[in-house]
Amino acid sequence: MAIVKVTDESFEQDVLKAEQPVLVDFWAEWCGPCKQIAPALEQIAQELGDKVTIAKVNIEDSPTTPSRYGVRGIPTLMLFKGGQMASMKVGAMPKAKLLEWLSESGVSASESDAAGAAA
C-alpha cells in the first residue's frame, strides 16, 4: 500500500476514522532526519500495508494538526488506533527499530517477515 498524504482537512477521515492502525509521520521538506527515515517508511508501507497505514503530514502545509497533538520536533511518529493516539516516537530511527516499535504496539508482520526484518 502506498503512503497516504494527509492534511489538516483530511486528518479526521484518513487517520481518526481509519479501520486499521495508522502510523502518522509529521515531517517537513527541510528536515534532514525526515528525509533519512522516508525510505524505511516506504518499505514498511509495502510490507505491512494490510496491517497499518503509513500517513505523512507536512507540518508546513498543515500546521493545525501537529499543533493539536503537541508536535515539538520532527520527525514525530504517532501510531493511532481506533481514533486515539496509542504511541509516539520522536526522531529518526532505522527500519528495524520502527518495526520493533510497531510490533510492541501490537502491529506486526507475520513471523517470516519479522525474521527477515531482523536480519
- Rounded CA gap, 64 and 69, in Å? 9
Residue located via cell numbers 507475520:
110
14 SS3 class: helix
CATH code, residues 4-111: 3.40.30.10
27 is catalytic: no
- Residue of 34, 44, 71, 78 with catalytic role: 34
The H or E element that residue 100 is part of is: helix 95-104
**pTM > 0.85:** yes
The DSSP string of 38-94 is HHHHHHHHHHHTTT-EEEEEETTT--HHHHHTT--SSSEEEEEETTEEEEEEES---
* Domain map (residue ranges) of the chain: 4-111
pLDDT at 119 over 50: no
Strands of the sheet with 4-6, listed across from one edge: 4-6, 53-58, 22-27, 76-81, 84-90
Write down the catalytic residue from 3, 22, 31, 99.
31
Tens digits of residue pLDDT in 2-47: 899 999 999 999 999 999 999 999 999 999 999 999 999 999 999 9
Q: Which residue has the higher pLDDT, 112 or 27?
A: 27
Q: Can you tell me the distance from the alpha carbon of 63 to that of 71, in angstroms, rounded to the nearest whole number?
A: 10
Is 34 an annotated catalytic residue? yes
